[in-house]
Amino acid sequence: MNATKHITFSPARIAAIASNTLLELVRLKVFYFMLIFALLLIGSSAFMVRFTFQQQFQVLKDVSLGAMSIFTWLLATLSTAMLLPKDIEDRTLYTILAKPVPRLEYLLGKLLGVLAMLAIALVFMSALFLVVLYWREQIVLAETARTTAPEELDAALREVRGLTFNINLLPGIGFIYLKAAVVAAMTLLLSTFASSWIFTVIVSVMMYVIGHVQPIAREYWLGAIPGGTVASPVLKILLGLIAVVFPDFQLFNLVDDIVVGNAVSAVMFMKTAGLGFGYVFIYTLVGYLMFANKEL
Amino acid sequence: MPDPAISIHNVTKTYPIPFRKEIVVAVKNLSLDVEPGQVYGLLGPNGSGKSTTMKIVLGLVRPTSGKTEIFGRSSTEVESREDVGFLPENPYFYKFLTGEETIQFYGKICGLSGAKLRERTKELLALVGLENAAKRRIGGYSKGMLQRIGLAQALVQEPRLLVLDEPTAGVDPAGSREIRDLILDFKKRGLTVLLCSHLLSQVQEICDRIGILHEGVLVREGRLDELISIQNQTELILENASPELLAVIAREASAGGARLVEQRKPQTTLEQYFLDVTGGRK
């Protein structure tokens, strides 16, 4: 008689698959991406000495948050795209699904493994970014203290501090993560029916691009911008469908506003976070429905 | 009467050909039972439907019609796989894991943990003779070692049924013998084994019963000894028989209405000869 008793839905099984996926990505050395990020950060800092301190902090935040957004997107797309096809090609999927493992748990385990890897990568990049930001701030503060008259010093130091760390950076980084999570769930869905990982990557990139341009197209066709046109009812339905299938990735770019000093309202934060989690849930659910009926 | 280990009822599996109206019939109206404790050999040329049948039994593929059961539970239920261990043909596993980590991973997804899992891992590594390679990455394993770690993962949750697809494919004779001995050991322990293999001599050595598939149809099925014995002939093996004695036997046989079909020296198998010459592994 076998040594275990089957549990219909087991978080322990999902955790085992997730930690194995994370280990796979770690041993595939995906974190080498981080070195490029570090070099980019240090390199951009070296060019800043000629700028005013306002420009320095602006460029540092722009470069760092932009690079974080691109790297997490690349990591999410490339690492997720290869997971399923590789397991099928190596027949490891057969050995896993021939055990008492429901397909939903396998898929969730894979997704959570990628999300854990993205979280580690983003925490590392954020820490590096904040350290460099703090380091530049200390340099500018010392310089300001040296060159500013005593009666104006307090105001000058406050201005410098106001331009560096801003608590709104944290939700901004959160949105970068959420955007990458949506991309990972979307790519995983694609890989459940794609014939190869290259196809998955190409379609995922296309969906990412469409997700960024669709709000502009929507506004143009719905006459919301000057020079735009008013769409026919059929086109409106089509635009509605595109808006449902392809997430509006521009919504997650709140970090651009945060960099220029704008705060994100609690309502906006909740709405965007809800949208992100909603897309992750829907993509995972559809991915499961595709995978549940897949002939292996 | 206990439930059969595997029960296949009128299973048909067809695949549509994309962009055409034609279909490919992989398995046609297949019915067979594998009783608990049996070693059952599923034979057939390439493309005869063996792997599809195995996948249907394991719930990896849905039959177009018909049903399969494992110890009385439908193969479509995830729970039915509690009792199954599967070794696919040419498995690769996760190259980034060590042998020990591989067994632990499969143990965890079967619900094992802690000391029980560590103990089971150790036990299985010893059973398949990989204790010394436990800390090595799977990527560096030879073909024979991969098959053995594959057997270990298949056994991790102590299943009652083992499904083995070409377990000795690409393995050298000594490794092949070791795997054969392991299967015989499983049989002694009362495990049921469904075996797909092209190595007919090996199938003949270890299987109790066989089924032969051809173009998706089960063309022969039954007890191996009954299927391959020649009913109207008898084999005598004598040791130290003189030529005179042999002549007497031949004469008596003829007088009794029988015909001496062949008289020859028995031969060992090429596998046994090879193992004797190379010293085998054991």
How many Å separate Cα B276 from the centre of its chain? 25
Residues of A in contact with B118 (CB under 8 A): none
Which of A28, A90, A100 comes nearest B82 by C-beta?
A: A100
pLDDT value at residue A204:
93
Q: Residue A28 and residue B159: Cβ atoms within 8 Å? A: no
Q: Nearest residue on chain B to A95, judged by CA atoms? A: B86
B107-116 residue pLDDT tens: 999 999 999 9
Where helices occur in chain B by DSSP H, the ranges are 50-57, 99-109, 114-127, 143-154, 173-188, 200-206, 224-228, 243-255, 270-278
B61-92 residue pLDDT tens: 999 999 999 999 999 999 999 999 999 888 78
Question: Strands of B209-214's sheet, edge to edge?
Answer: B84-87, B161-165, B192-196, B39-43, B209-214, B217-223
pLDDT value at residue B282:
45
DSSP β-ladder status, B65-70 and B209-214: unpaired
Global pTM? 0.85
Q: Residue A2 and residue B112: Cβ atoms within 8 Å? A: no
Q: Higher model confidence: residue B153 or residue A246?
A: B153
Pick from A4, A26, A82 the residue to mutate for testing the B interface (most B CBs within 10 Å).
Answer: A4
- Confidence band of B57 (pLDDT split at 50, 70, 90): very high
Least confident of A212-221, B18-27, B122-131, B164-173: A212-221
Burial class for B18, CB neighbours closer than 10 Å (0-12, 13-18, 19+):
exposed
Distance from CA of B277 to the nearest CA of A (A): 36
Q: Higher model confidence: residue B200 or residue A118?
A: A118
pLDDT score of B104 more than 90: yes
On whether the CB atoms of residues B119 and A26 are closer than 8 A, the answer is no
Question: Is A98's Cβ below 8 Å from some Cβ in B?
Answer: yes
Burial class for B127, CB neighbours closer than 10 Å (0-12, 13-18, 19+):
middle
As a whole number, the mean pLDDT across chain B is 89
pLDDT value at residue A226:
61
Measure the CA–CA gap between B70 and B4, rounded to whole angstroms: 7
pLDDT value at residue B59:
92
Using alpha carbons only, give the angle A9, A11, A16 rounded to the nearest 5 degrees: 120
The ranges of chain A with pLDDT < 50 are none
Measure the CA–CA gap between A61 and A163, rounded to whole angstroms: 10
Residues of A in contact with B157 (CB under 8 A): 2-4, 99-100
Instruction: Enumerate residues 6+ apart whose C-beta is below 8 A from B234.
Output: none
Residues in chain B, total:
282
Question: Is A90's Cβ below 8 Å from some Cβ in B?
Answer: yes
Q: Residue B109 and residue A4: Cβ atoms within 8 Å? A: no
On whether the CB atoms of residues A6 and B111 are closer than 8 A, the answer is yes
Q: Residue B60 and residue A4: Cβ atoms within 8 Å? A: no
Instruction: Enumerate residues 6+ apart whose C-beta is below 8 A from B130.
Output: B99, B145, B148, B149, B152
Residues of B in contact with A96 (CB under 8 A): 106, 109
Calculate the alpha carbon distances from A172 to A254, A273, A288 in Å: 6, 11, 30
On whether the CB atoms of residues A176 and A122 are closer than 8 A, the answer is yes
Measure the CA–CA gap between A89 and B88, rounded to whole angstroms: 12
Residues of B in contact with A3 (CB under 8 A): 110, 112, 116, 120, 157-158
User: Residue B211 is encoded by which pair of tokens?
Assistant: 């089924």
On whether the CB atoms of residues A295 and B62 are closer than 8 A, the answer is yes
Measure the CA–CA gap between B115 and A174, rounded to whole angstroms: 39
Q: Residue B160 and residue A2: Cβ atoms within 8 Å? A: yes
User: Residue B234 is encoded by which pair of tokens?
Assistant: 């008898």
Gyration radius from chain A CA atoms: 23
Which of B86, B94, B158 comes nearest A94 by C-beta?
A: B86
Least confident of A273-287, B28-42, B192-206, B257-271: B257-271
pLDDT value at residue A39:
79
Q: Residue B157 and residue A4: Cβ atoms within 8 Å? A: yes
Measure the CA–CA gap between A296 and A174, rounded to whole angstroms: 37
On whether the CB atoms of residues A4 and B157 are closer than 8 A, the answer is yes
Backbone φ and ψ of A275, nearest 5° = -65, -45
pLDDT value at residue B52:
92
B174-187 residue pLDDT tens: 888 888 888 999 99
Which of A3, A13, A90 comes nearest B109 by C-beta?
A: A13
Enumerate chain B positions whose Cβ falls within 8 A of a Cβ in A.
15, 55, 58-62, 78-79, 81-94, 96-97, 105-106, 108-113, 116, 120, 150, 153-154, 157-160, 163
Distance from CA of A108 to the nearest CA of B (A): 13
Instruction: Enumerate residues 6+ apart whose C-beta is below 8 A from B272.
Output: none
